Amino acid sequence: MKVALIGVGQAGGKVTERLTRFDANMGFDAVQGALAVNSAEPDLHSLEFVDTQLIGADRVNGHGVGGDNELGAEIMQSDIQQVLGQLDGRITSHSEAIFVIAGLGGGTGSGGAPVLVHNLKQVYDVPVYAIGVLPGRNEGALYQANAGRSLKTLLREADSTLLIDNDAWHEQGESVESAFESINDKIARRIGLLFASGEATEGVGESVVDSSEVINTLRSGGVSVLGYASELAAEDSGENIQVAMSVARQALLTGASMPNATSADAALLVIAGQPDRIPRKGVERARRWVEDETDSMQVRGGDFPIDSDRLGALVLLGGAERSDRLDEFMQRAREASKKEQRSVEENVEQFTDDRIENLF
Ligand SMILES: Nc1nc2c(ncn2[C@@H]2O[C@H](COP(=O)(O)OP(=O)(O)OP(=O)(O)O)[C@@H](O)[C@H]2O)c(=O)[nH]1
């Protein structure tokens, strides 16, 4: 799948750089263009692998917005023409999707990403997706409140919002801050593989994944979730039926970017590995298991041939907002919003309710 990536804010820029670097190092060539946008100049200077665009210099003089996501939204809107201008030539007729990436708890990314998505959708015909990093449980109230408002607005604006919970992809005992490097690495590898899986054309049979399958899986909008797991596999595919089942189960149950997301409108199961090691029967069984587990009648499947002695499973869920973890996060965001003295009321549906305000 040919994609253009735009990172907004510090986390967005770092993840965009990681993803772009991974894609280039692996020779996948799925990332066609990448841009990092920020109001903090030093954060942009630390990026070497992507182009950069400073916004809000007239308001914050390159110092960032200090967690004020309303200001983040305003400066993105004020400087939107410069950002769109920078994207000329990076989003081409080959681009199949645009991904806007941001940490939702801060200021520039949290406020800027929904505004950017909104504007991109006016200009481009391809889907505009968001990749949003949710703050960990131990991050402060401002982060939770910011992320709640940003998420609510992204869900309204983006064609789908892939969520990564900062508590999900780090090791036990590690603090979130010290884990950023390893979380970013996992994001890059897993999302990078997803992009690349829709690109595979060499030496493959009929069951290769096509980028339209990623797009169709995300078609219902809302929240999307990506899971991944891998295991050593035998050389003979006949011995790997259990392995295929096991990696699919782990990808969904313990390896998901947002835990406990086991209900979805649609899903895509990609089995990555050497074609000789991929067991047809096992893949079909795993696909049916994903169907049962997610209560979805639309589970697409496909292979991603890569040279490895392991079998990997990538599970992409579309329309996965019915999740305990997300409910728990929205509850945190509501409580934090109260603390932040934003008016919130009780007992109304999340996302469509007034307890969490949209950003714009
Ligand atoms: N996974 C991951 N999360 C990060 C990283 N850096 C920051 N975050 C998270 O992102 C949120 C903060 O967003 P930032 O990107 O630092 O903030 P910003 O958008 O640059 O906004 P300002 O600094 O307020 O201008 C917090 O919830 C952090 O936990 C990172 O490298 N990786």
Read off the CATH number of the domain in which 268 is found: 3.30.1330.20
Q: If you measure from the C-alpha of residue 11 to the centroid of ligand 1, how many angstroms do you get, rounded to a whole number?
A: 4
Q: How far apart are CA 142 and CA 133, in angstroms?
A: 15
Ligand 1 atom with minimal separation from the 13 CA: 15
Q: Is residue 359 part of a domain?
A: no
61 and 25 belong to one structural domain: yes
pLDDT of residue 348: 39
Residue 36 lies in a domain: yes
Q: Is 296 inside a domain boundary?
A: yes
CA of 21 to the centre of ligand 1 (A): 19
**27: CB partners within 8 A, 6+ apart:** none
Q: Determine which residue's CA is closest to atom 4 belonging to ligand 1.
A: 11
Do both 41 and 121 map to the same domain? Answer: yes
Does some domain include residue 220? no
Mutate to test the pocket of ligand 1, among 149, 166, 167, 174 (most ligand atoms within 8 A of CB): 166
Is residue 20 included in any domain, yes or no? yes
Binding-site residues: 10-14, 107-109, 139, 166, 184
- Examine the domain organization and report whether 193 and 299 are in the same domain: no
In a shared domain, residues 65 and 157: yes
Tens of pLDDT along the chain (360 residues) come to: 999 999 999 999 999 999 999 999 999 999 999 999 999 999 999 999 999 999 999 999 999 999 999 999 999 999 999 999 999 989 999 999 999 999 999 999 999 999 999 999 999 999 999 999 999 988 999 999 999 999 999 999 999 999 999 999 877 777 766 789 989 999 999 999 999 987 765 555 557 788 999 999 999 999 999 999 999 999 999 999 999 999 999 999 999 999 988 899 999 999 999 999 999 999 999 999 999 999 998 999 999 998 999 999 999 999 999 899 999 999 999 999 887 754 434 433 556 666 678 888
Ligand 1 pocket test: which of 10, 182, 359 has the largest number of ligand atoms within 8 Å of its C-beta?
A: 10
Same domain, 100 and 55: yes
Backbone angles phi, psi at 28, to 5 degrees: -75, -35
Q: How many whole angstroms separate alpha carbon 111 and alpha carbon 126?
A: 23
Cα separation of 86 and 83, whole Å? 5
Binding residues for GTP: 10-14, 107-109, 139, 166, 184
Residue nearest to atom 3 of ligand 1 (CA): 11
For residue 223, give the DSSP letter. Answer: E
Residue with the smallest CA separation from ligand 1 atom 18 is: 9
DSSP annotation string for 242-259? HHHHHHHHHHHHTSBSST
Task: Report pLDDT for 275.
Answer: 92
Atom of ligand 1 nearest to the CA of 68: 24
- Amino acid identity, position 278: I
Whether residues 54 and 162 fall in one domain: yes
How far is ligand 1, taken at its centre, from the CA of residue 12, in Å? Answer: 7
Q: Domain total for the chain?
A: 2
CA of 274 to the centre of ligand 1 (A): 37
- Residue 352 in any domain: the answer is no
C-alpha 85 – ligand 1 centre gap (Å): 25
CB 99 within 8 A of CB 74: no
Q: Answer for the pair 282, 348: CB distance below 8 angstroms, yes or no.
A: no
| Domain coverage including residue 238 | 226-318
Residue 177: per-residue pLDDT: 66
Relative to the CA of 110, which ligand 1 atom is closest? 19
Distances in Å between the Cα of 315 and the Cα atoms of 81, 227, 258 are 36, 5, 12
User: Pairing between strand 128-134 and 223-232?
Assistant: unpaired
Q: At 61, which CATH number?
A: 3.40.50.1440
Using CA atoms, how far apart are residues 299 and 31, in angstroms rounded to an integer?
26
Do 157 and 305 sit in the same domain of this protein?
no
* Alpha carbon of 297 to ligand 1 centroid (Å): 36
Is pTM beyond 0.80? Reply is: yes
User: Quick one: pLDDT at residue 346?
Assistant: 42
Question: Given the CA of residue 181, which atom of ligand 1 is nearest to it?
Answer: 31
**233 in the same domain as 147:** no
- Which residues lie with the beta carbon below 6 Å from any ligand 1 atom? 9-12, 14, 38-40, 64-67, 103, 105-110, 133, 135, 139, 143, 166, 176, 180, 183-184
* Nearest atom within ligand 1 for CA of residue 72: 25
Q: Tell me if 42 is assigned to some domain.
A: yes
Q: Does one domain contain both 331 and 297?
A: no
The pLDDT value given to residue 357:
83
- Distance between Cα 149 and ligand 1 center (Å): 15
Same domain (yes/no): 52, 154: yes
For residue 96, being part of any structural domain is answered with: yes
Say whether both 84 and 114 belong to one domain.
yes
Residue 343's pLDDT is what?
A: 43
Distance CA 43, CA 37 (A): 10
Alpha helices in the chain (DSSP H): 9-26, 41-45, 57-60, 69-78, 80-87, 108-123, 141-157, 176-197, 211-217, 241-253, 280-294, 324-339
Instruction: Say whether both 280 and 165 belong to one domain.
Output: no
Ligand 1 atom having least distance to the Cα of 40: 25
Atom 5 of ligand 1, residue of closest alpha carbon? 11
